A and B are shown apart, each in its own frame.
Chain A
Amino acid sequence: MQRMINMAPGRSLNLMLALLPFALLLLLYIVASDARLAENANDKLLPSFAQMGDAVQRMAFEPSKRTGEYLLWVDTASSLTRLGLGVLIAAVLGLLIGMLTGALPMIGAGVSPLLTVISLVPPLALLPVLFIVFGLGELSKVVLIAVGITPFIARDIQRRTEEIPAEQLVKAQTLGANTMQILIRVVLPQLLPKLIDAVRLSLGAGWLFLIAAEAIASTDGLGYRIFLVRRYLSMDVILPYVAWITLLAFLLDIALAWLSRRLFPWNTQGGR
């Protein structure tokens, strides 16, 4: 008998093993939903797939009676815009702060301790402050996402900068490079794939801050919608929305991984 530690599934078995938990969960849901609906046809907790299909049809393909908009797409566009802006700002700031503190000891000495302290502040606790300062509009939501993930990206990039072998920096200097040239041609290009990695890791937190901000003060967005329909216990809307958000997050992640492999073929351990 082979040791468990040496047993690996083949290609098709691997696929089957991967799909099995999904199939089981689905089956479990259908059975439980059927059982509850058989007892009480108006039960809202575990809607059938037909009910959810109706809800999706209503939200995505029929204009809203109140506003005439196709709500799912409007919500998706607003949420992705907020998330994209927030993450973009965080990526640019994080890259700059991380690179400069990591590469220039004089700046690192002044900024690193502050960065450490800031990264310990729970961003959601700052949300009221953001609402007071920036109002209840788009800006405060974008700022929350940016504030929430910039410290993580900055610290990650700082560490990545410090990991660049000193030999490379010395080599560039022996070729006559000045500080600016070293930053732009040696350090920055090597940080870009690391930045994509850091963004991928922080997207989960980005979604969290987005949905939290939308739940508290908004008039559209995926997070706004699920918190709105919660009042009517509309699980038939909430569950498809959650699945949709999950799908979006998944697609964003693989798109970034693909982009990283595409743009940085020299980065041998990246883009997975």
Chain B
Amino acid sequence: MPPMIQAKNLWKTYGENVVLEGLNVTVEEGEFITMVGTSGCGKSTFLNMLLGTQSCSKGELLLDGQPIPAEPGPDRGIVFQQYSVFPHMTVLENVMAAKAFARKGLTGYLFGSARREAKEEATAILNQVGLSHALNKYPHELSGGMKQRLAIAQALLGKPRILLLDEPFGALDPGIRADMHELVLNLWREHKLTVFMVTHDLKEGFYLGTRLWVFDKLRQDPQAPGAYGASITYDLAVGQMGKKIYEEIDDNLRPVVEVV
């Protein structure tokens, strides 16, 4: 069987600007990958290629041995840092919409028994993410953390195999983030997901998942910052890493952050 995700000499360029160069990785079903790297080094770009909203410039990105479809689809769920939920639907409607969109049909509305079933399922998952007290609220009435819980519940009800998270907790208070970590870990285990999560918080990346990727440029040309792209410079199994390597990566990321 081919690995679930395989990148073969993957390049991404925007005109002259090389963003990613020569990525070679494989990912098996059930892994929880966290991705860190300086801002603008191409983490979101890689995630968008998995999502199908961007295509690679050179090389291949395979899902189950086949090129990733060029459009988003129900096998790959996503939670963005913001704008992930529909502002005109209540919490319950937001999640029920996931069930409605999963069916064929022109309008995306549910009726009769399908509606009742969707409501039950939606209520159950909202219970699981801790939103059962806010079923009839609109997103603008929710806190940042509650919005992200909603976005996660919505993505899960789409029954994806892969869950993509692009800095999902970047805008949240540190205290709330710990709760969210626990939530994501529980859902990952229970729903047997493969997770790709971008984070700007190295600690989060170090301790949350099963595998950490550090995106960085191997070569730098100060005269032409776009001449070389980033690739994965560290690919580590979480749990086997000590304090020393943490500090090493931290040092690699920090100085560039301060310049930006």
Interface residues of A (CB under 8 A from B): 165, 167-168, 170-178, 180-182, 184-186, 189-190, 264-268
B88 touching A266, Cβ below 8 Å:
yes
Interface contact A181-B72, CB-CB below 8 Å: no
Q: How would you classify the secondary structure of chain A's contact residues: helix, strand, loop or mixed?
A: helix
| Min CB gap B159→A, angstroms | 9
Q: By the criterion CB–CB under 8 Å, are B72 and A174 in contact?
A: yes
CB distance from A178 to the nearest CB of B (A): 8
A172→B72 CA distance, assembly (Å): 9
Inter-subunit contact A181/B108 (CB<8 Å): yes
Contact A176 B74 (CB under 8 A): yes
Q: Which residues of A contact B34 (CB under 8 A)?
A: none
Cα–Cα distance between A225 and B82 once the two chains are bound (Å): 56
Chain A residues positioned under 8 Å from B145 (CB to CB) = none
Given contacts A170-B72, A174-B158, A177-B108, 19 further A-B contacts (CB under 8 A): A167-B83, A170-B78, A171-B84, A172-B86, A173-B73, A174-B77, A176-B74, A180-B107, A181-B100, A181-B101, A181-B106, A184-B107, A184-B109, A185-B108, A190-B87, A264-B88, A265-B138, A266-B87, A266-B139
Contact with A along B174-207 (1 / 0, CB 8 A): 0000000000000000000000000000000000
From B76, B105, B140, B157, contact of A268 by CB (8 A): B140
Q: Is the interface of B mostly helix, strand, loop or mixed?
A: loop
Q: A177-B108, A181-B108 are in contact. Are A171 and B138 (CB under 8 A)?
A: no
**Considering residues A165, A173, A268, which has the most beta carbons from chain B within 10 angstroms of its beta carbon?**
A173
User: At the interface, yes or no: B231 with Cβ under 8 Å from chain A?
Assistant: no
In the complex, which residues of chain A have a beta carbon less than 8 angstroms from the beta carbon of B78?
A: 170-171, 174
B232 to chain A, nearest CB (A): 24
Asked whether any CB of chain A lies closer than 8 Å to the CB of B228, the reply is: no
Q: How many residues of B are counted as interface, with CB atoms below 8 angstroms from the partner's CB atoms? A: 39
Indicate whether B155 reaches chain A with its CB closer than 8 angstroms. Answer: yes
Q: Which of A168, A172, A176, A264 has the most CB of B within 10 A?
A: A176
A105 to chain B, nearest CB (A): 14
Q: Does B97 sit at the interface, judged by CB under 8 A?
A: yes
The reply to whether the CB of B154 lies closer than 8 angstroms to some CB of chain A is yes
Complexed CA–CA distance, A178 and B74 (Å): 11
Chain B residues lying within 8 Å of A265, measured Cβ to Cβ, are 138
Across the interface, do A175 and B82 meet the contact criterion of CB distance under 8 Å?
no
CA distance A154 to B5 in the complex (A): 44
26 pairs from A and B in contact (CB 8 Å cutoff)? A167-B80, A167-B83, A171-B85, A171-B154, A172-B97, A173-B71, A174-B73, A174-B155, A174-B160, A175-B97, A175-B98, A175-B102, A175-B154, A175-B155, A176-B101, A177-B108, A181-B105, A184-B106, A185-B100, A185-B107, A186-B86, A190-B88, A265-B138, A266-B89, A266-B139, A268-B140
**B9 CB-CB contact with A under 8 Å:** no
CB-defined contacts of B84 to chain A, threshold 8 Å: 167-168, 171
Of A165, A189, A268, the contact of B83 (CB 8 Å cutoff): A165
Do B107 and A266 touch (CB < 8 A)?
no
Does B165 have its Cβ within 8 Å of any Cβ on chain A?
Answer: no
The CA-CA distance from A97 to B139 in the complex, in Å, is: 29
In the complex formed, the residue of A with least CB distance to B166 is A167
Given contacts A175-B98, A176-B102, contact A181 B107 (CB under 8 A): yes
Interface hub of A165, A171, A180, A184 (most chain B Cβ within 10 A) = A171
- B100: which A residues are within 8 A, CB to CB? 181, 185
Within 8 A of A (CB), among B93-123: 97-98, 100-109
**Residues of chain B contacted by A176 (CB below 8 angstroms):** 73-74, 101-103, 158
For B51, list chain A residues within 8 Å (CB): 170, 174
Q: Bound complex: CA of A175 vs CA of B108, how far in Å?
A: 11
In the docked arrangement, what's the CA distance between A268 and B88, Å? 10
Q: Is B127 at the interface (CB under 8 A from chain A)?
A: no
Residues of A within 8 A of B83 (CB): 165, 167-168
CB distance from A157 to the nearest CB of B (A): 16
Q: Which 3 pairs from chain A and chain B are nearest by CB?
A: A181-B108, A185-B108, A177-B101
**Contact partners of B88 in chain A: CB under 8 A:** 189-190, 264, 266-267
- List chain B residues, Cβ under 8 A from A170: 51, 53, 72, 78
- Least Cβ–Cβ distance between A259 and chain B, in angstroms: 16
**Contact between chains at B74 and A174 (CB < 8 Å):** yes
Name the A residues within 8 Å of B71 (CB-CB).
173
Beta-carbon nearest neighbor of B82 in chain A: A167
Alpha-carbon distance A181/B87, docked complex (angstroms): 16
